[in-house]
């Protein structure tokens, strides 16, 4: 499988690239500057110039011959409108234009629960994520929207929870990446939203139940 990773140099994106090549997938790693950001040297990884301020046709070219797109990019609340909303929507349009059906979005827990936003320090971020997710739901893409809780750099456990009522406070970025690398391959899991946190169920078991 050939997978384009948007935000491949980010803290989640780097893990995703690693997880995909461990599964013998080919990776197109989208980064702003391949000359300085080509961190991982591997036969199955090609770094390509990509940023969310590009126009859609440039994105289509970057996605060349990909089977799927995994969106891991984010502005950390600093440029929500241009990155988390407009940039994300452009990648969806580009995927459709490129003939790519499989699209995995990293969103955020409670992006679809506006009643939880008041008082949040990242209120604008939730708004951006919410409407990007809503746009994705209106496309013809075979999408999975992944909504993790607060991300951490703790060691991976390989176990998560996808029960909204039982979500814990955090989840390791590496566990999120493993979930993404597995779920992108499960074609029957599509047009759905999944909340994830640290938990006690093996990642592959959660995915098998989707």
* Cα separation, 45 vs 126, whole angstroms: 32
Active site residue 125: yes
Q: Are the C-beta atoms of 68 and 102 separated by less than 8 Å?
A: yes
Residue 85 pairs in a beta bridge with: none
Kind of pairing between the strands at 102-106 and 142-148: parallel
Contact 146, 180 (CB under 8 A): yes
Is the CB of residue 4 less than 8 Å from the CB of residue 30? yes
- Which tokens hold the place of 34? 């391949």
Spot the catalytic one: 47, 103, 125, 143: 125
Supply φ then ψ for residue 8, to 5 degrees: -65, -15
End-to-end CA, the chain: 20
Which residues have CB under 8 Å from 86's CB, separation 6+?
Answer: 52
Kindly list the catalytic residues.
Answer: 125
């Amino acid at each position: 499988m050939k997978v384009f990773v948007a935000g491949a140099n980010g803290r989640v994106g780097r893990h995703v690239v690693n997880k995909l090549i461990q599964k013998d997938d080919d990776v197109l790693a989208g980064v702003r500057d391949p000359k300085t950001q080509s961190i991982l040297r591997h036969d199955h990884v090609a770094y390509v110039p990509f940023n969310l301020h590009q126009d859609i046709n440039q994105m289509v070219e970057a996605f060349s011959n990909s089977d799927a797109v995994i969106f891991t990019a984010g502005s950390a609340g600093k440029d929500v409108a241009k990155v988390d909303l407009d940039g994300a929507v452009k990648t969806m349009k580009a995927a459709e234009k490129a003939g790519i059906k499989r699209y995995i979005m990293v969103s955020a827990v409670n992006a679809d629960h506006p009643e939880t936003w008041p008082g949040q320090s990242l209120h604008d971020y939730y708004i951006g994520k919410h409407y990007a997710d809503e746009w994705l739901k209106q496309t013809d893409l075979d999408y999975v929207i992944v909504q993790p809780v607060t991300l951490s750099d703790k060691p991976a456990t390989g176990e998560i929870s996808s029960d909204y009522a039982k979500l814990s406070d955090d989840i390791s970025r590496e566990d999120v990446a493993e979930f993404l690398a597995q779920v992108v391959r499960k074609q029957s899991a599509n047009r759905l939203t999944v909340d994830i946190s640290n938990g006690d169920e093996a990642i592959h078991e959660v995915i098998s139940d989707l």
